[in-house]
Structure 1
Amino acid sequence: MQHRRWIFTIVIFVLLLGAGPGVAQTLLRIATPGALTGALPIYLGAKKGVFSKYGLTVGVIATRNEQMNMQALMSDSVQFLTSSSTGLFYLGKQGLDAVGLASWNNSSPYSLATRLKIKDLKELKGWKIASSGAGGRADAFIRFMLAKVGLDHRTDAQIIPLSGGSSVRLAAVVSGNLDATLISTLQGRQAEKLGLTVIPVPLEYIWGINLTRRSYLSKNRDTVKNYLRGLSDSVRLMMADKAATIAVMRQVLKIDDADSLEDAYKTMSADSRPDLFPTEEAIVNVLRTMSYEDPAFMSIPPYKFFDLSLIQELKPELR
């Protein structure tokens, strides 16, 4: 039943994003957890026919959280994951069939939005903070964020799991059911207009990561390379075509306010990387956030679970 639901979602997205009829193309399924920001260039590229130039039709599947994203990849329900920053290292540490390929954005994925009138993260002590759930990117980030200001996530704050993406958690804070949550950096202006206090959390981080299975890469190297070509072209288009990108952001992120969309576009465009290169600092910071759950993550060499040979081969094209 769950598999059928995924297929149904794929069909809907392919129809919505305008897959061209009558052309033999390879269908690729890409899963993204909760917040859909990491998939924005994929949505845009699919809508504008970028991937079809490389013989690909892409379908984006929005899963509820990081755990479902990882399950989708391991069960062969999808070929790629995007935004699974922590997922790659959970899978790799267990010796499972996963490999990181690229990252189109290495900036901080989050700001903190709170209904409290605070100026410092230390003031979160004793309050309820919404998380995506244990093992997710947001959950690891919260633990790291609290530790940086001397707070213990086990005793100094209540971390409440709430899946469904940052928009769902933002609504819970606005309603007063929770005190604070991490939101996408693209939602900062929107949160302020809702009357919340927004505190940036600067940290280089591979939230634009894309990964696949090593076994899939070994059998379909040309397809994976074409996917990365399409992703790079889509990032470049996102940076160049403001109107088309904002239209996609309005649809995907469910933001209608023009000022909020303008601010989100400027933030995303400034941090985008068409070369798709995941920086070492951005990878180390992911491992650092995860080390508060298990210190063994800090002993993992940054690029251990990556194969960057494809973006290196494509380097002349991706500049």
Structure 2
Amino acid sequence: MLRSNCDRSARSGFAGGVACGGEGVKRVTILKYIFLVLSLTISLAAHAQESLVVSYDGYAGFQGPIWATKDLGLFDKHGLKTELVLIAGSPRGMAALVSGSSHFAQGSASAPIPIRLRGGDIVIVAAALNRFPFSVVTQKEIRKPADLVGKKIGILNFGGSNDLAITLAFKEWNIPRQAVTVFASGGAPERLAALSTKAIDATVLSPPETVAAARMGMNILAHLSDLKAAFPQTVITVRRSFLEKNRDTVKRFVRAYSEAIHVFKTDKAKGSAVYTKRLKQQDSKVIEETDDYFAPKFSFPPRVDRDGIRNALELVTALPEAKGDINLEQFIDESVIDELEREGFLKKLR
């Protein structure tokens, strides 16, 4: 009876018929192989099409590494499909990251540290800039730090890297914070405009705004990158749970990001091209000065300066969680960079 059914199925050409004998086993094996290949192809296609949302928090030269990673095709080179999104303001960027709306966030360490202190699921995996990128720009009659006493200083906002930079500069200059008036006065373009109308006496700016300020006759009083104090201004933050579940993705991201930093430090033409596109700046002199300012300061390998994390903690001293001894390593996971070092990837870039 079984043989009769097999014969009928074979004669009718019915694909779902009973498979019998050696021919049937071969057909089943082929079908299994086809199914395996199709499954693998679909899986790889889905993986290739998975898009990662990467945020950054403003327009300035210190955003260069993430722009270069995207614009120079380095994400593609390392097998990542990404969407670069501007989310102005570090707190908003962190909110998007914590909620899962984004996968990676570039910004300063001042944003993730308080979230982590409260038990948030985030961690810094790389740092492109461990120095303040700002310069103190003043009215031309202010020639030395002591001349700032009694003056009005505009910053972006309180509790951010602008605020900390001014605080640490005053410490080095032995000027009490209360000896000046510090207030929030908008973004870099707004503060530059306020300087030009003498609504404020001083502010902190970074290239390309510093170049424009100098052309307007303003005085560049000090480069805060020359301060003894370190600060992790440009870091990459992820959810710790995302790192644990998608370690290979994070590793490929850090490979691409490291390569972008290396390009900035070694290939001026490519770095300048990125700035020209992203800053929408056609003045080659401005682009050149921006690149000259930032390229030597970018960190390669992209490790986090622990002293910078200590300084960043000064921004959150009012939090109950910031009291007592704090383990700095809770904010950082450099295990991916450690792997890239052991595997020789970073050495090959040098």
**Residue 182 of structure 2 is aligned to residue 156 of structure 1:** no
Written as runs of structure 1 = structure 2, the 5 A alignment for 1:45-60 is 45-60=69-84
Displacement after TM superposition at 1:171 (Å): 3.0
CA-to-aligned-CA distance 1:246-302 (integer Å, 9 cap, x gap): 1221332344432232122122221223311112233333334x2676694784333
Alignment partner of 1:172 out of 172, 180, 194: 194
* Counterpart in the other structure of 1:317: 345
Displacement after TM superposition at 1:116 (Å): 4.3
* Counterpart in the other structure of 2:213: 191
Written as runs of structure 1 = structure 2, the 5 A alignment for 1:1-319 is 24-153=48-177, 155-164=178-187, 166-184=188-206, 187-198=209-220, 199-201=222-224, 202-203=226-227, 204-288=230-314, 290=315, 296=322, 299-315=325-341, 316-319=344-347
CA-to-aligned-CA distance 1:140-184 (integer Å, 9 cap, x gap): 22233234334443x3322222344x3442233223332221112
CA distance in 2, matches of 1:294, 1:126: 30
CA distance in 2, matches of 1:258, 1:115: 26
Computed over aligned residues only, the root mean square deviation of the Cα atoms, in angstroms, reads: 2.6
CA distance in 2, matches of 1:264, 1:300: 36
Change (3 A) 1:211 1:299: same
Identical amino acids, percent of aligned pairs: 28
CA-to-aligned-CA distance 1:20-61 (integer Å, 9 cap, x gap): xx9934322222223443331221221121110122133332
- Where does structure 1 lack aligned partners over 5 or more consecutive residues? 1-21
CA distance in 1, matches of 2:86, 2:199: 25
CA distance in 1, matches of 2:96, 2:60: 16
- Where does structure 2 lack aligned partners over 5 or more consecutive residues? 1-45
**What is the TM-score normalised by the length of structure 2?**
0.75
Decide which structure has the larger Cα Rg and report it: 2
Displacement after TM superposition at 1:210 (Å): 0.9
CA distance in 1, matches of 2:319, 2:157: 16
How many residue pairs get aligned? The number is: 295
CA distance in 2, matches of 1:131, 1:293: 20
CA distance in 2, matches of 1:129, 1:61: 31
**What is the TM-score normalised by the length of structure 1?**
0.82
Change (3 A) 1:215 1:291: closer
